[in-house]
């Protein structure tokens, strides 16, 4: 486990096309556009599905998990939407399977150098409109063979109340014609192994496995993506086949037609027939002016919370902090800010500092400067939108991993930590509280995570005990400014 002394903490296509991608494409874990990648010269790139505002999805929960252990770095996320529990269960099972494999093969064994280790699973809404929900999960496993980049799409039909596979977008009686069209467009392409195509779509089970990423473009074309090495030599990269609307529409199932329609012309709301949609409670605490604590004279501690915001954990945490007039710094993940801007706004209003923790929690040192900038800039933009103009000045690199490339890609100031509660590992409120109370010293920066209920539950004891010892809880920027 890393330890960080005080000093670094404080200074720190609607034409038919086939697109071959040789590198991960900026909202995925590597920082590039999810699942599209770099188009070959001369190829047309179709518009992806329309932009979905996750904050408009009532009762949305983002299920997050992460590690700060340098020998086992992982970050996973997937959405839970009221009414779509069957789809959520399928995503949960897949994420947990991949995480278990990663831990067993990488964290508990010798799977190469630490530099090759990292699992990142991020999510993207394809459509959330009417009675249709579509989500893509993008997985980057740096310990896997080839690029380790893979994508899967998950669909939910609110009309029938059932989870739908990507292939369910196509009517059963039209699947042979659909597959033949895919094979025709792939056959003869550079790097494609024609002999393997028949086997790839040989039977229903093989088809379902191969057709794991299907979605619609804003023009209504059907986009079918294949991971690197699935239909051709790994060196050729990933392939995307886009069938134009006029070609594919006659083949679509009833659900596929509704999914296409809701992508092209979405309704104003999503209704999956949920029997109960939680009404989130957002705190309304307002800070009574600027913090005038002089940390040269007073005993100060900067509590920091990574990976949120999360509902209801961040909401509960803000209530606890308000009781003790304590301030803290939240290093937020962009995809969660997009889902819960109301929580970020509430935290800012309550006098908390909002920092940047990347958009999807990748190890930034494995990215190009452009990818680093995309991860951080997208998150800063989401924070600024949520707080109506407050631009973050601080960022915490995921896993504390930082190098010259990362530093050179942003003007944000890095922040590490002095006390690591390891609350991601020990889901024990008492242990988390004792760690902070026993280890934190004057002017320390404390690392915690507001995505864990146990960590939030530890806060009242921490605040009560350390307040009694004369400590003041301030933001990182306030601590820096007054020392």
User: What are the CA-CA distances from residue 36 to residues 39, 207, 469 (Å)?
Assistant: 8, 21, 55
Ordered alpha helix ranges (H), 330-450: 334-339, 341-349, 369-386, 404-408, 429-439
Q: Which of 123, 340, 449, 472 is catalytic?
A: 449
Q: Which of 65, 227, 306, 418 is catalytic?
A: 306
At 126, list the tokens. 């394809």
Distance CA 258, CA 389 (A): 38
At 324, list the tokens. 């003790």
User: What are the CA-CA distances from residue 138 to residues 91, 177, 234, 326 (Å)?
Assistant: 11, 28, 18, 37
CA 103 to chain CA mean position, Å: 19
Nearest-CA neighbor of 316 among 343, 345, 341? 343
Residue 306 is among the residues annotated as catalytic for this protein: yes
Contact between 301 and 471 under an 8 Å Cβ cutoff? The reply is yes
Residue 276 is among the residues annotated as catalytic for this protein: no
Question: Pairing relation of β-strands 132-141 and 119-129?
Answer: antiparallel
Distance CA 415, CA 10 (A): 6
Distance CA 211, CA 167 (A): 7
Tell me the Cα Rg of the chain.
23
In three-state secondary structure terms, 21 is strand
Which helix (H) or strand (E) segment is 120 a member of? Answer: strand 119-129
| DSSP one-letter string for 121-134 | EEEEEEEEEBTEEE
Burial 63-82 (b: 16+ CB within 10 A, else e): bbbbbbbeebbbbbbbbbbb
Distance CA 247, CA 242 (A): 10
For residue 444, cis peptide bond before it (omega within 30 degrees of 0): no
Residue count of the chain:
483
Would you give the DSSP letter of residue 97?
Answer: H
CA 410 to chain CA mean position, Å: 20
Ordered alpha helix ranges (H), 191-298: 194-200, 204-210, 245-248, 254-264
What's the first-to-final CA gap in the chain, in angstroms?
28
In three-state secondary structure terms, 414 is strand
Active site residues: 306, 449
């Amino acid at each position: 486990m890393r330890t960080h002394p005080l000093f670094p903490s404080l200074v720190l296509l609607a034409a038919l096309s086939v697109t071959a991608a040789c590198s991960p494409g900026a909202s995925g874990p590597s920082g590039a556009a999810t699942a599209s990648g770099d188009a070959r010269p001369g190829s047309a790139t179709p518009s992806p599905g329309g932009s979905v505002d996750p904050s408009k999805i009532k009762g949305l929960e983002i299920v997050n998990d992460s590690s700060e252990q340098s020998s086992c770095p992982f970050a996973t996320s997937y959405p839970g939407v009221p009414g779509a529990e069957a789809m959520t269960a399928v995503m949960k099972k897949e994420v947990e399977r991949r995480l278990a494999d990663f831990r067993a093969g990488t964290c508990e064994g010798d799977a190469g150098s630490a530099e090759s280790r990292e699992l990142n699973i991020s999510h993207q809404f394809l459509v959330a409109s009417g009675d249709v929900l579509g989500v893509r999960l993008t997985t980057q496993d740096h310990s896997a063979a080839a690029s380790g980049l893979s994508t899967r799409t998950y669909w939910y039909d609110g009309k029938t109340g059932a989870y739908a596979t990507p292939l369910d977008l196509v009517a059963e009686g039209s699947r042979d014609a659909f597959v033949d069209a895919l094979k025709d467009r792939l056959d003869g392409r550079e790097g494609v192994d024609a002999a393997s195509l028949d086997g790839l779509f040989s039977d229903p089970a093989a088809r379902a496995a191969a057709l794991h990423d299907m979605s619609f473009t804003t023009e209504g074309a059907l986009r079918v993506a294949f991971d690197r090495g699935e239909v051709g030599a790994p060196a050729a990269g990933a392939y995307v086949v886009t069938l134009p609307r006029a070609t594919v529409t006659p083949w679509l199932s009833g659900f596929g037609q509704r999914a296409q329609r809701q992508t092209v012309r979405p309704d104003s709301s999503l209704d999956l027939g949920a029997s109960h949609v939680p009404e989130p409670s957002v705190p309304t605490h307002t800070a009574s002016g600027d913090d005038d604590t002089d940390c040269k004279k007073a005993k100060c501690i900067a509590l920091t919370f990574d990976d949120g915001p999360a509902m209801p954990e961040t909401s509960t945490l803000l209530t606890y902090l308000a009781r003790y007039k304590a301030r803290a710094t939240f290093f937020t993940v962009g995809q969660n800010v997009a889902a819960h801007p109301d929580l970020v706004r509430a935290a800012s209003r309550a006098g908390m500092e909002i920092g940047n923790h990347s958009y999807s929690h990748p190890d930034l040192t494995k990215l190009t400067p452009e990818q680093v900038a995309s991860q951080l800039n997208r998150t800063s933009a989401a924070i600024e939108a949520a707080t109506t103009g407050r631009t973050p000045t601080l960022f915490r690199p995921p896993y504390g991993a930082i190098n010259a490339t990362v530093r050179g890609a942003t003007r944000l100031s890095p922040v590490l930590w002095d006390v690591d509660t390891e609350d991601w590992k020990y889901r024990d409120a008492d242990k988390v509280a004792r760690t902070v109370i026993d280890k934190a010293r004057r002017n320390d920066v404390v690392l915690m995570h507001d995505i864990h209920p146990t960590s939030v539950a530890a806060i009242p004891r921490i605040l009560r005990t350390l307040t009694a010892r004369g400590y003041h809880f301030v933001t990182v920027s306030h601590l820096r400014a007054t020392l």
